[in-house]
A and B are shown apart, each in its own frame.
Chain A
């Protein structure tokens, strides 16, 4: 069976789909971190 072109094509498909799945999750995590930081900055610190 000549699967070299076929496996190459499926590998490209898997890689691009993986990027499409992971990239927005990284973005979402970054946004959540940014929001958490903002909340921490804006919350007045307790004075000892």
Chain B
């Protein structure tokens, strides 16, 4: 057990060094995106052409095949960002600072998808584009938190100080994640409760489930690809004066 933990720590430290991280990200980004596109294409095809229309919501229920995975990702990414931020603040690991800051735009993108697709679904279903429902409002606060993290990171010139300040905001903002998740249980809301449960039976028919699972897996891989891509750009920018960056830049120029 101790040996495997040590190996994991050693792997993390090796991969976390800027040149190794650059190689790691360059290698795995295309694979992550390719896997994401395969799963999402299958899921979206199933959502639009394979599953039947819902008895109550009709065709509009097909929107939920992108809305639900995006909503889950908006919360999942915030948790990942807060964990990276915590590690970055406590152990001052630069790679974790970069990863935490790279999570924010991807999380903001998924939160925006959640809000807009939810609004489009809400118009024919609830009769309104927007209502100040606790689930919707807390999700909007989540978007503002993501924007706050991005804004704070860009507002301070010293990159390390900027990342530390933004990491602190990410940790404070973590309080909103359980509020978003439990809003449908804590308050009397218009938003429906959980349809799919990790523990206990789901209320969604199994025949309608597989496209959702495919898009859920696809969005997870998309996040990995996007995170690595963004983190690689930030890593190269911060290390632009270092010898290893000069070497890879010169070698790629010679190859071209």
| Min CB gap B26→A, angstroms | 10
Residue in B67, B109, B246 whose beta carbon sits within 8 Å of that of A20 in the complex: B109
CA distance A3 to B185 in the complex (A): 32
Asked if B240 and A12 sit within 8 Å, CB to CB, the answer is no
Q: Mark A25-43, 1 if CB is under 8 A from B, else 0.
A: 1011001101110110000
B253 beta carbon closer than 8 Å to chain A: yes
Q: How large is the interface on A (under 10, 10 to 19, 20 to 34, 35 or more residues)?
A: 20 to 34
Asked if A34 and B105 sit within 8 Å, CB to CB, the answer is no
Tell me which of A13, A25, A38 has the highest count of chain B C-beta atoms within 10 A of its own C-beta.
Answer: A13
| Min CB gap B240→A, angstroms | 5
What residues of B have a CB within 8 angstroms of the CB of A44 in the complex? Answer: none
Asked if B240 and A34 sit within 8 Å, CB to CB, the answer is yes
B87 beta carbon closer than 8 Å to chain A: no
What residues of B have a CB within 8 angstroms of the CB of A3 in the complex? Answer: 59
Tell me which of B113, B124, B245, B253 has the highest count of chain A C-beta atoms within 10 A of its own C-beta.
Answer: B113
**Which candidate, B11-19, B160-168, B196-204, B222-230, is the interface stretch facing chain A?**
B222-230
What residues of B have a CB within 8 angstroms of the CB of A24 in the complex? Answer: 226, 229-230, 232-233
Asked if A5 and B124 sit within 8 Å, CB to CB, the answer is yes
10 sample A-B contacts, Cβ–Cβ < 8 Å, listed by A number:
A5-B59, A6-B63, A9-B66, A9-B121, A17-B113, A20-B106, A23-B105, A24-B233, A27-B230, A38-B240
Per CB-CB distance, the 8 closest pairs between chain A and chain B, nearest first, are A28-B233, A9-B63, A24-B229, A9-B117, A27-B233, A9-B120, A24-B230, A20-B109
B42 beta carbon closer than 8 Å to chain A: no
Q: What total count of A-B pairs have CB within 8 Å?
A: 87
Residue in B44, B59, B116, B245 whose beta carbon sits within 8 Å of that of A2 in the complex: B59
Asked if B226 and A5 sit within 8 Å, CB to CB, the answer is no
CA distance A33 to B229 in the complex (A): 17
CA distance A39 to B247 in the complex (A): 10
B123 beta carbon closer than 8 Å to chain A: yes
Within 8 A of A (CB), among B56-95: 58-60, 62-63, 66-67, 70
